[in-house]
Amino acid sequence: MTTTIFRNGSILTEDVLDGDVEAPYAASVAVKDGVIVAIGDDEVAAFLDDADRVIDLAGRTLMPGFVDAHIHAFQGGRERNACDLTGEDTAEECYTVIADYHAAHPDGWLVGGGWSMESFPNGLARRESLDEIVGARPAFLPNRDHHSAWVSTDALRLAGVDASTPDPTGGRIERDPDGEPTGMLHEHAMKLVEAVMPAYTPAQYDAGLATAAEYLASLGLVGWQDVFLKPYDVEPEPHLAYVRADASGSLTAKVRASLWWDPNVQAEGVADEVARLVAIRDEANAAGTRYGIHSVKVMVDGVAETYTASMLEPYLDGEGNPTGNRGIPFLSPELLTRVTVALDAAGFQVHIHALGDRAVRDSLDAYQAAREANGDRDLRHHIVHLQFIDEAEIPRFGELGVTANIQALWAAHDPQTDALTMPYVGEERAERMYPFGELLRAGAPFAGGSDWPVSTPNPLEAIHVAVNRKETGASSDTEPLGKDQGIPLIPMLRAYTAGSTWLNRLEGSSGAIRIGAAADLVVLDRDLLAAPTEEIGLTKVDHTFVDGVEVFAREA
């Protein structure tokens, strides 16, 4: 029996985040055996004498812990444990990190990732540069959005990829004018090399999960929805690593997994693939405590930077003229509808990746078809990313109850967006990128996610961009991205707490400061609601608690 008291702070209770009352509404909270038992000074006073720990907030914020509704935690943890290029700004910096890692780990495949497209001319790295560092060694390094990979000549050789290799369905091999591969593989073309790479060991998966969990706790995350990297492959290690961690009691967060729809499955195989996923889900949920499965991710398109996001109107060329390219729809509208209806009928939440406006329209059509076929089943379907949305589709989110699962960190000017996207979509589409304000005003449900390791999993930096439409630290004369597309602070805090918790079906026990809820809490280093909005992204996490147990404490 343990009791923890939080005093003298700005408490973001459920009523505050629901917009029913203004903060500060309460200054004290009592937690007993992992559950919130009292809110308010008078109510908490009765627990003071028996308290095992009293934390003086000294005006800081106590709020529900953050929940990331779209993250690749294993992938992020593995990359932090490998050749991690995250945050390197130039090609030369990437070369230095690769050389150091190659020298320290000279055997086998060199793997890692996280490099930024703006570090290389036209966003394209070359195999010759990699060969100069690693020699005749296979190397596979996805960029930060993980829709393209930089590979060495030896990796291409082992995969049998050369000038005669056709582009696979849903992918593209970057080539020189003579047809020779340059070392860049886009979308499903990455699988040509992944197919010959050695599988990660169970120990590597366990280490990746441990690294990810420790890092995410330091950012105030108490839970997430993990979108497995390759769950349709033969080895089930991402799932089993969570099972092992949950069974051993070492899982320090509340996690729901999203299995991945195999894009190679055609119409005649849909029923069998759904049955396979149901078996994995039911086995996981039978024994899980903090881990479970209820969702399946479906990739509908690619990304705008490589012109693979599925668009209603063509991309433009460097002169501003329409091209014949409208992106790559990974599933036809008919197949997407069949898959969505079948998953919905099997009780799965459907978690769709869609960046282009055509992909968003096709996804909403599929959700509407599922509702018409199966009824409203409260499965909490969502669409993730949502870079481009046709105005006609905005009201459909609220009408269909489809959650906008947003990666708000991307809704700002940065070199990749400004150089590799905006010129090729035109001014009108660029002005409406990430139309979160329109969605909010139309009554769309919201959840917050990061897509880590594509971008930082820090919720406060993402919330900063959602509010300001500028990156943390941007100068006062930096133009916001988009007009009237910002979201106020309280709705964004709710999206990253109650909204994401609701998607994970944990709203009855977590995601809010209320009597009887689990003490999944975070202490911030300041009174967030009183701080200037320009400083939201500078906020640090001082403590993170899951079920009342401290899983992170920042040193003074």
DSSP secondary structure letters along 40-67: SHHHHHTTSTT-SEEEE-TT-EEEEPEE
Question: DSSP E strands: which ranges in 469-548?
Answer: 521-524, 541-546
- 34, 3 contact by CB (below 8 A): no
Q: How confident is the model at residue 556 (pLDDT cuts 50, 70, 90)?
A: low
Rounded CA-CA distance 204/194 in Å is: 17
CA 313 to chain centre: 27
Residue 232 has pLDDT above 50, yes or no: no
- Dump pLDDT digits (tens) for 103-134: 999 999 999 988 988 889 888 999 999 999 99
- Dump pLDDT digits (tens) for 371-383: 999 999 999 999 9
Which pLDDT score is estimated for 201?
85
- Give residue 48's identity as a one-letter amino acid code: L
Biggest alpha carbon–alpha carbon distance for the chain: 79
- 348, 294 contact by CB (below 8 A): yes
Q: How confident is the model at residue 187 (pLDDT cuts 50, 70, 90)?
A: confident
The values of phi and psi at residue 299, to 5°, are: -85, 120
Spatial neighbors of 166 by CB under 8 A, at least 6 apart, are: none
Which pLDDT score is estimated for 424?
94
Residue 147 has pLDDT above 90, yes or no: no
- 91, 125 contact by CB (below 8 A): yes
Q: How confident is the model at residue 231 (pLDDT cuts 50, 70, 90)?
A: very low
Which pLDDT score is estimated for 117?
86
Q: How confident is the model at residue 420 (pLDDT cuts 50, 70, 90)?
A: confident
Tell me how many helices (H) and strands (E) the chain has.
20, 23
Which pLDDT score is estimated for 490?
96
Of 116, 121, 152, nearest to 134 by C-alpha is 152
Higher pLDDT pick, 54 / 89: 54
- 553, 217 contact by CB (below 8 A): no
Contacts of 476-479 with C-beta under 8 Å, sequence gap 24+, read 476/534, 478/413, 479/413
Average pLDDT over all residues of the chain:
93
Q: How confident is the model at residue 234 (pLDDT cuts 50, 70, 90)?
A: very low
Residue 229 has pLDDT above 70, yes or no: no
> Could you give the residue range(s) of every CATH 3.10.310.70 domain in the chain?
109-194
Question: Which burial class, exposed, middle or buried, applies to 392 when counting CB atoms under 10 A from its CB (0-12, 13-18, 19+)?
Answer: exposed
Angle at the Cα of 364 (from 363 to 367), degrees rounded to 5? 90
Residue 397 has pLDDT above 60, yes or no: yes
Which pLDDT score is estimated for 235?
47
Which pLDDT score is estimated for 233?
46
Higher pLDDT pick, 228 / 168: 168
Q: Which of 141-150, 213-222, 423-432, 462-471 has the lowest mean pLDDT?
A: 141-150
DSSP class of 69 = E
Its pTM stands at: 0.89
* 288-297 average pLDDT score: 92
Which pLDDT score is estimated for 315?
97
Rounded CA-CA distance 116/88 in Å is: 8
Which pLDDT score is estimated for 236?
63
| CA atoms in the 13 A half-sphere facing the CB of 405 | 30
Of 119, 111, 116, nearest to 91 by C-alpha is 119
Which pLDDT score is estimated for 75?
83
Rounded CA-CA distance 11/29 in Å is: 8
- Dump pLDDT digits (tens) for 149-179: 999 999 999 999 999 999 998 889 999 999 9
Q: May I ask the CATH class of domain 3-65+513-553?
A: mainly beta
> Could you give the residue range(s) of every CATH 3.20.20.140 domain in the chain?
202-503
Helix (H) or strand (E) holding 270: helix 270-287
Higher pLDDT pick, 18 / 420: 18
Which tokens go with 479? 């133009």
| CA atoms in the 13 A half-sphere facing the CB of 223 | 36
CATH superfamily of 202-503: Metal-dependent hydrolases (3.20.20.140)
Q: Which of 142-151, 234-243, 360-369, 540-549 has the lowest mean pLDDT?
A: 234-243
Which pLDDT score is estimated for 14?
95
Spatial neighbors of 168 by CB under 8 A, at least 6 apart, are: 188, 189, 191, 192
> Could you give the residue range(s) of every CATH 2.30.40.10 domain in the chain?
3-65+513-553
Rounded CA-CA distance 383/395 in Å is: 14
Spatial neighbors of 201 by CB under 8 A, at least 6 apart, are: none
- 159, 130 contact by CB (below 8 A): no
| Three-state DSSP state, 133 | helix
Task: State whether CATH 3.10.310.70 applies to domain 109-194.
Answer: yes
Higher pLDDT pick, 290 / 86: 290
Which pLDDT score is estimated for 280?
87
Which pLDDT score is estimated for 24?
64
Residue by residue, DSSP assigns 387-424 as ----GGGHHHHHHHT-EEEE-GGGSS--HHHHHHTHHH
Residue 425 has pLDDT above 90, yes or no: yes
Beta-ladder partners of 385:
354
- 49, 30 contact by CB (below 8 A): no
Higher pLDDT pick, 443 / 280: 443
* 259-284 average pLDDT score: 92
Work out the number of other CB atoms within 10 angstroms of the CB of residue 162.
Answer: 12
* 186-208 average pLDDT score: 91
Is the alpha carbon torsion for 186, 188, 193, 197 positive or negative? positive
Is the alpha carbon torsion for 109, 251, 295, 496 positive or negative? negative
Whole-angstrom Cα Rg for the chain:
23
Of 332, 334, 345, 372, nearest to 275 by C-alpha is 345
For helices 270-287 and 237-248, give the axis angle rounded to 10 degrees. Answer: 10
Residue 25 has pLDDT above 80, yes or no: no
